[in-house]
Amino acid sequence: MVKLIAGKKGAGKTKLLIEAIHAAEKESKGNVVAIQLGSSLNVDIYHKIRLINIEDYKIEDYDDMYGFIAGMLASNYDITDIFVDGTLRIVGRDLEQVGKMLDRIALITENITVTFTISAEVADFPESVKKYL
């Protein structure tokens, strides 16, 4: 299942993401993963959460992100939740391509929740992205 936390910059998306990460960690019977660009979440996230700095893996576009998530799921069947902070800074700002990426990820995450933050006006989202709000 794919979910979005969306809104313009400064709308409090990261705070909502951190709260969702902590809630998932308390409820999860498996592993919770947080993907970030840099180290912005390091101080706020419990040590039981697997923090990944996406810069270490040279992810540059939508296909790379899909492959990265698919690879994580293939190698660790105990993942229950994945959180991605700063999606557009990682993959680019083409919202049509983001919609296609989300559709592909939704196909492989039926029993897993993948939550993305997207810094953009919700009114600017194409339908392919809005359906995940």
pLDDT tens for the chain, residues 1 to 133: 999 999 998 899 989 999 999 999 999 999 999 999 887 777 778 788 999 999 999 999 999 999 999 999 999 999 999 999 999 999 999 999 999 999 999 999 999 999 999 999 999 999 999 999 9
Greatest Cα pair distance in the chain:
37
At 46 the pLDDT is: 75
What range defines the domain where residue 77 resides? 2-130
* pLDDT score, position 20: 96
Domain count, the chain: 1
Q: What is the pLDDT of residue 67?
A: 98
**What confidence score (pLDDT) does residue 78 get?**
97
Q: How far apart are CA 133 and CA 121, in angstroms?
A: 12
- Per-residue DSSP letters for 69-129? HHHHHHH-TTEEEEEES-HHHHH-S-HHHHHHHHHHHHHH-TTSEEEEEEES-GGG--HHH
Q: What is the pLDDT of residue 96?
A: 97
Q: What is the CATH number of the domain that holds 124?
A: 3.40.50.300
pTM: 0.94
- Supply the pLDDT for residue 58: 94
